[in-house]
């Protein structure tokens, strides 16, 4: 598992060998606001060693009942999902008073790493690879949406955070959906609070931004945003501020790729446009339906399996090693500090939850500005010509 932070992009923080229960923590991969993520080894008898990832609750949240409930929900949902395109969870527990979740280790990169590397190299991801990633994520989301609880009842799970940072691609070309920290399901439906927004500002579906009830089609909008960014090199919803990004999401204000990418394939654009439409009834009805559309496109373009192509792309983009693999030696204490260019824009900050007092406006800001101008003009005319 990989976390999208400026520090983890610069280097991995190597640790002195630290025991944590059955695990040996090797390097800190990063973390979100409430948890830290470590590359670790599980040491078994007879020299058995298994690389893994350990996600630990930050000490300041150990006594936060609400966050413990969120972390437990993440573990319970992850334990019920078994699929090649989903990062597997295999252990959950408490050690020295700290809750942790042990996850499959994926040597490779997040799609956020890939997008940044492509931007730096002045290139985009080939559509054959984008299609391969899309099909893999459709498979993962199909598993999530069809999952059942321990009693056999539908889990009604929605990931709610399908973003480039939460998709891992391995050096062998596998595609893995990760991070179920804000997943909504029947297991936590009673704990969900109205008026609370969860996810990332630039990867929200319109119904998320409007604080409306969600269903699985919200995840398909998120998937559309991920594929859009992979093949264009730009975020569909990134604006100059957090509020502007929320407004863009609420109205699905997204320019078609052909508006700025000459010769963009119309058939693939139609797939993106359907996934990214504002009305959920106009989107694909399910992840399986969207996967079928991508498979037809792959067949018509005569793309073969792109595992090897994706693997070769990773080697090309990261010649010094995969982002999730620790360096051979500790970083120099004189390493350059994080520069402003390495810090995400404010509207791309990963937030666990933001409480809104009311849904964001659905009208475009230009319409609002025009209405305000008309109102001011009318007021001025009243004072100048009507009143004596």
| Catalytic residue numbers, as ranges | 161
Going 310 to 311 to 314 to 319, the CA torsion angle's sign is: negative
Alpha-carbon span 253 to 179, nearest angstrom: 27
Cβ partners under 8 Å of residue 178, min gap 6: 1, 2, 86, 87, 103, 106, 166, 167, 168
Find where tokens 């569909």 sit: 236
Find where tokens 């399996």 sit: 305
CA 384: distance to chain centroid? Answer: 55
Burial 106-134 (b: 16+ CB within 10 A, else e): bbbbbbbbbbbbbeeeeebbbbbbbbbbb
């Amino acid at each position: 598992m990989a976390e999208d932070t400026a520090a983890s992009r610069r280097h991995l923080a190597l640790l002195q060998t630290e025991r944590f229960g059955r695990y040996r923590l090797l390097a800190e991969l990063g973390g979100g606001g409430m948890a830290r993520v470590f590359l670790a080894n599980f040491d078994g008898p007879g020299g058995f060693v298994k690389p893994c990832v350990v996600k630990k609750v930050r000490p300041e949240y150990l006594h936060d009942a609400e966050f413990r409930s969120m972390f437990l929900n993440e573990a319970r949902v992850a334990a019920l999902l078994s699929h090649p395109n989903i990062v597997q969870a295999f252990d959950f527990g408490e050690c020295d008073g700290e809750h942790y979740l042990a996850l499959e280790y994926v040597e490779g990169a997040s799609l956020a790493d890939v997008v940044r590397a492509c931007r730096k190299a002045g290139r985009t991801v080939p559509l054959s690879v984008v299609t391969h990633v899309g099909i893999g994520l459709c498979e993962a989301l199909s598993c999530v949406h069809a999952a059942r609880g321990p009693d056999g009842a539908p889990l009604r799970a929605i990931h709610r955070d399908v973003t480039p940072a939460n998709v891992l691609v391995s050096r062998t070309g596998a595609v893995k959906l990760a991070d179920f920290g804000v997943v909504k399901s029947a297991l936590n439906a009673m704990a969900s609070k109205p008026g609370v927004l969860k996810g990332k500002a630039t990867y929200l579906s319109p119904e998320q931004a409007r604080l409306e009830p969600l269903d699985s089609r919200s995840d398909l909008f998120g998937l559309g945003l991920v594929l859009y960014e992979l093949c264009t090199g730009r975020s569909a919803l990134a604006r100059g501020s957090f509020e502007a990004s929320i407004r863009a999401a609420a109205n699905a204000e997204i320019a078609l790729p052909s508006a700025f990418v000459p010769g963009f394939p119309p058939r693939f654009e139609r797939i993106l446009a359907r996934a990214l439409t504002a009305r959920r009834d106009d989107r694909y009805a399910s992840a399986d339906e969207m996967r079928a559309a991508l498979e037809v496109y792959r067949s018509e373009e005569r793309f073969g399996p792109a595992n090897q192509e994706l693997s070769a792309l990773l080697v090309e983009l990261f010649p010094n090693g995969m982002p999730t693999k620790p360096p051979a030696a500790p970083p120099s204490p004189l390493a350059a500090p994080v520069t402003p260019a390495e810090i995400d824009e404010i509207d791309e900050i990963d937030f666990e939850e933001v409480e809104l007092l009311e849904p964001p406006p659905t009208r475009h800001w230009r319409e609002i500005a025009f209405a305000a101008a008309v109102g001011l003009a009318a007021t001025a005319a009243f004072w100048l010509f009507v009143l004596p």
